[in-house]
Amino acid sequence: METVTTLKREIIQIGRRMYERGYVASNDGNISVRLPNGNVLITPSGVSKGFLNPEEMVLVDAQGKVLSHKSTPSSELEMHLKIYENRPCVVSVCHAHPIYATAFAAAGKELDTCLLSETIFTLGKVPLVAYGTPGTKDIYRDLLRWLPDYDAFLLANHGVVTVGKSLLKAYHKLETVEHSAHITYLTEQLGGGKLLSVRDVRKLEKLKQEADISTKTDCLTSDKSTICDLKTVPEMSELLVDEIVKRIIKRIRLG
């Protein structure tokens, strides 16, 4: 089992990665880890995540009572605690403002297209959570609605929240969200992506279910999550009609 000292070191490493990758500017973002006894270790308020010190890390109990008094906890402490309260298997929460994913959040667009196999397999759809003022209950009000079904969330006009069964798993989801948003954005600049077929999506869905069962990495509390929006994928019958029309046109031209 990891000690508090080890976890503080891991939070510092992840904070540095987030800062160096441009997922946060200035003192933005926050990271927390839940300990086996229910207490939570969270990053301090008003400090750059690229330059954290172990002494600054704040220990609180499940109700938010500060147990170490050297620093003030992140202003989003309540959001982290509500996530832990509502998803008992979650061990870590990451919040940041990565550029491309935040651009999607600011444009009011979910990341839900059936475009990238790896994203569909490892993460699934990233829903858009209604805007709420940072540092207040409003920020997580709508997030709780999506929480049982998803591991990553776009906060409208704000940024991204990811959760996981470990700090590294929560952070990797943040990387996947930003990577996927970046590629989706570039694909749109190139005239739009070629979406996966229903059949291919179904295959990924099956593989994902099998992997979740065998590795037990999944800690979603409902089975309503979707891996991507199948409505955006042309149905096979539509593809067939398109192909037939193309062949008829070709024959008419040849004739």
Instruction: Pick from 159, 162, 169, 233 the residue near Zn ion by CB under 5 A.
Output: 159
Nearest distance in Å: CB 159, Zn ion: 5
Is residue 76 flagged as an active site residue? yes
Rounded CA separation 148/2 (Å): 26
Please identify the residue of the shown chain whose CB is closest to the bound Zn ion.
159
Torsion of CA 58, 134, 139, 18, to 10 degrees: -60
Q: Which residues pair with 163 in a beta bridge?
A: 93
How many of the chain's residues bind Zn ion (CB under 5 A)? 1
204: region left, alpha or beta (phi > 0 left; psi from -120 to 50 alpha): alpha
Which candidate in 20, 55, 56, 76 is catalytic? Answer: 76
Q: Which is nearer to Zn ion, 90 or 139 (CB)?
A: 139
Nearest distance in Å: CB 234, Zn ion: 37
For the record, the structure tokens of 117 come out as 């196999």
Binding region for Zn ion (CB under 5 A) out of 81-89, 155-163, 192-200, 224-232: 155-163
Binding region for Zn ion (CB under 5 A) out of 8-16, 138-146, 157-165, 232-240: 157-165
Binding to Zn ion by residue 127, rule CB under 5 A?
no
Q: Which of 228, 47, 41 is nearest to 152 (CA)?
A: 228
Q: Which is nearer to Zn ion, 56 or 76 (CB)?
A: 76
Q: Which is nearer to Zn ion, 41 or 105 (CB)?
A: 105
Nearest distance in Å: CB 215, Zn ion: 31
CA distances from 242 to 81, 194, 237, 239, 251 (A): 51, 15, 9, 5, 14
- Is residue 33 within 8 A of residue 40, CB to CB? The reply is yes
Q: Which is nearer to Zn ion, 58 or 156 (CB)?
A: 156
Neighbouring C-alpha atoms within 13 Å toward the C-beta of 73: 23
Q: State the catalytic residues.
A: 76
Binding site for Zn ion (CB under 5 A): 159
